[in-house]
Amino acid sequence: MGDEAGVAISELYTELRRMAAYMLSSERVGHTLQPTAMVNELYLRLASGSPEWRSRTHFFAVAASNLRRILIDHARAHKAARRGGDHVRVPLDVVESGVTCSYDDLLIIDEALNQLECADPRAARVTELKFFAGLTEDEIAKELEVSEITVKRDWKFARAWLAAHMLV
């Protein structure tokens, strides 16, 4: 492997680790997942298929979706290990402000996002890329091949929809 490829892989790993750390920053203190473990799991998931990446942004959008799934799978496993528990009410400002959330909160957010996907798939995708991946509106617009104003409208709709449909 040449020096350029080694540098590119190193930069890619650093960016994926940053993305995982960003996602974990809103999790509860003492979370058992670490960014490195998430990136390793991501590699295993991505290596099992051979998709065609349209662009750097497309790759990171796919990575963000997979990292979200890793967090959700971990939360479900943890909740199953605890043998249930009542649903917790999650105010929408928890979703927007980046405050820490529990496994239960994360599962409620995931369920609401899945319901939003039925109502408006693009708005759900915008929310996923913004909330879980930390992508900018410009990056989201490029990935979804829409205008930035469309992303802003979708984000506004998604916030309103989630506020109306989440247990608040």
- Total of domains in the chain: 1
Residues spanned by the domain of 148: 3-165
Tell me the C-alpha to C-alpha distance, in Å, between residue 63 and each of 12, 83, 116, 132: 11, 30, 21, 10
Tell me the C-alpha to C-alpha distance, in Å, between residue 119 and each of 113, 115, 125, 131, 162: 10, 7, 12, 18, 11
- One pLDDT digit (tens) per residue for the chain, 168 residues: 556 656 677 888 888 888 888 877 766 666 677 888 888 888 888 877 767 778 888 888 888 888 888 888 887 777 765 544 444 444 444 444 444 566 677 777 788 888 888 989 999 989 888 877 778 899 899 988 999 999 999 999 998 888 887 754
Q: What is the reported pTM?
A: 0.55
